[in-house]
A and B are shown apart, each in its own frame.
Chain A
Amino acid sequence: AQKITQTQPGMFVQEKEAVTLDCTYDTSDQSYGLFWYKQPSSGEMIFLIYQGSYDEQNATEGRYSLNFQKARKSANLVISASQLGDSAMYFCAMSGYSGGGADGLTFGKGTHLIIQP
């Protein structure tokens, strides 16, 4: 079975600082994907970034980057130059087929990020 662990229930960060949100995962799959989603207070789920397990380069999307350390089974999200609009819940998730496991993504419990002016 797959498992995602996010150890930071909540974080306070000053505006314009960089933020690292931690995510570790556990899987027996050789091929898998790692995702980060943002959920603002309005409730919708917004896809941020994706990293495939065989991708050699860390994924980047604008101010978002994914620090992928395969040996450590970690997939931390880095937000550069944080903005007030980054205040939200952030979920780490993974995909992969475990030969009998459910399809779809397995989610962590989330990190509530608050950006302070």
Chain B
Amino acid sequence: NAGVTQTPKFQVLKTGQSMTLQCAQDMNHNSMYWYRQDPGMGLRLIYYSASEGTTDKGEVPNGYNVSRLNKREFSLRLESAAPSQTSVYFCASSASRNTGELFFGEGSRLTVL
């Protein structure tokens, strides 16, 4: 069972470059999320999508854009990467919008030089 799949697992960018993190889930979940994890900060919500066709900002959305391509896929785009965006990014999905367990991908480690 694949669950939540993120690509790439690792990426190094130069300041100002752009990139897209891809996420796909095969559990038929309505809700999908992007979090970032920084040392000592826990996980912070960047954007989420409660259903296909909708996206909303989370706690730390600046510098990011998202696309809910279909029910399975939710991508995160960095248009002009900055060193402050060096982090581990997690995609997650949930069957229930607010009360359900999150199922996480393995994470994507991004370094911006």
Contacts and interface: CB of A to CB of B under 8 A. Distances in A.
Contacts of B43: 91, 93, 105, 107
A4, A103, A109: most-surrounded residue (chain B CB, <10 A): A103
B101 A104 contact: no
A45 B104 contact: yes
Contacts of B35: 104, 107
Contact of A107 (B42, B56, B106): B42
A108 B50 CA distance: 22
Given A95-B98, A110-B42, A104 B90 contact: no
A61 interface: no
A68 interface: no
Contact of A104 (B41, B45, B88, B106): B45
Contacts of B57: 102
Interface string A97-117: 100001111111110000000
Given A43-B88, A91-B43, A105 B56 contact: no
Nearest to A102: B58
Interface size class of B (residues with CB under 8 A): 20 to 34
Nearest to A91: B42
Given A35-B101, A95-B100, A43 B56 contact: no
A12 interface: no
Contacts of A33: 99-100
Interface of B: 31, 33, 35, 40-45, 48, 50, 56-59, 88, 90, 92, 94, 97-104, 106-107
Contacts of A97: 97-98
A108 to B, nearest CB: 6
* 6 A-B pairs closest in CB distance: A45-B104, A107-B42, A109-B42, A107-B43, A97-B98, A104-B33
Interface string A45-80: 101001010000000000000000000000000000
